[in-house]
Amino acid sequence: MVITTDWVRLLIVCVVFTAAAAGVAWATDLTRPLPFLKAAVRAVLQLAAVSAVITFVLAHLGLTGAFLVVMATVATATAARRTETGWQGAWVGVAVLIGTVPALGLLIGLGLVPIKGIALVPIGGILIGGAMTTTTLSVRRALDTLKDRHGEYEAALALGFVEPVAARFLVRKPAAEALLPPLDQTRTVGLVTLPGAFVGMLLGGAPVWQAGALQLLVLLALLAVEVAAVATVVELVARGLVRRASQEGEVRLT
């Protein structure tokens, strides 16, 4: 690959943005700068690897399916690590996939998404990524609520509520806060943001109405997937299937 001035400018801008994010986070005592540097390096390496194999993967349906499985596995592992749920993080995968798989199946079944890698990978990635983010946020909020409001949980048990009902009552609304970003994204689409599917189709030469129709389809599918993820998280936390190791002695769930 020939290094041109465009590549040099791209490298400089990427370094500046990464340094700015890490520097501001460190200077304002928000968090350590190291996670930003690691994230940037990983993004470079992963995108380089994907760029090297994606053409081959998209040309073979079997490899496309395997690639989607890898996406779902990484999403589950990432959500489990962020929620500090240890081995119970495997249950987080249920929340990630419970809406994603039916949604993708419906789109394929109705012929709206062709059974081709070039369509399945980006649409599947968008749905899996949205479910991962929403699952992570809702699990964190739910488990934090159980910890912070443990006294209310015990009071509910004393009043005769069974354990899942008491936990569900406490975590439902905090977990639902994870839906605010996707709701705002859908409400403001076209006014504040022009999401990737829309822009990508326009850059590819598709008619504006077709790009808009696809973006609307993706946004609404994403909303359904993310609501399903949060509802599943609430149920998993309420039944004690997802919780942090530090909370096992605090919350007695069946």
pLDDT in tens, 109-168: 988 888 888 888 889 999 999 999 999 999 999 999 988 888 888 888 888 778 888 888
pLDDT digits (tens, 9 = 90+) for 5-41: 777 888 899 999 999 999 999 999 988 989 999 999 9
**Domains of the chain: which residue ranges?**
1-58, 60-247
Q: Are 53 and 117 in contact (CB under 8 A)?
A: no
Tokens at 175, concatenated? 């977990």
Cα separation, 196 vs 81, whole angstroms: 27
- Whether residue 251 is predicted with pLDDT greater than 50 in this model: the reply is no
* Average pLDDT of the segment spanning 84-92: 82
pTM attached to this predicted model:
0.82
